[in-house]
Amino acid sequence: FGYYPESVHVDKIYRTRENRNWCKERGIRISGPKLGRPPKNVSEEEKKQAHSDECFRNAIEGKFGQAKRRFSLNLVMTKLPETSITSIAITFLVVNLSKLLRQFLSLFLSLFTNNRTGELIKPPFINFDYTLNNFYVLKLIDLSENSWSKVA
């Protein structure tokens, strides 16, 4: 997008001198400890930064693991690089759609639950007694037999 990211969150194998120097030249911070002997005194700010970097990286790694386990990302065996890229992109599209669907379902179900007890409640816009009585008057249901009858 025309600029470099603020930080890069990588595994230990990518924290080489060459990669560190490349990132340093471009003003990119690499997550993780510096090379060499660890310092004796580490400031609270550096500890907080390292912790937040690890939390961010763990969330991303978890999403990759979920894509491998639940969405068959580990079964991509296409021959052409373009096909592999397309297959991976479709997998992450499905992962994102699944997350959106879960959020929508959660929102939808929260409309019908009582927050204090967690029980399902009747929607406020439907009066079940009134509806039942109207069906009985219109002969759509027969309450004596407790079964549905056809309208003649």
Report pLDDT digits (tens) over 17-37: 999 999 999 999 998 888 888
- 139 lies in a domain? no
- 133 lies in a domain? no
Residue 105 pLDDT class (50, 70, 90 cuts): confident
- 110 lies in a domain? no
- 70 lies in a domain? yes
- 23 lies in a domain? yes
- 28 lies in a domain? yes
Residue 10 pLDDT class (50, 70, 90 cuts): confident
Q: In this model, does residue 116 exceed pLDDT 70?
A: no
- Rounded CA separation 19/17 (Å): 6
Residue 152 pLDDT class (50, 70, 90 cuts): very low
- Rounded CA separation 92/31 (Å): 24
Q: Number of folded domains in the chain?
A: 1
Residue 127 pLDDT class (50, 70, 90 cuts): low
Q: In this model, does residue 149 exceed pLDDT 90?
A: no
- 43 lies in a domain? yes
Residue 10: which domain range? 1-75
CA angle 87, 12, 45 (to 5 degrees): 110
H or E stretch covering 130: helix 128-137
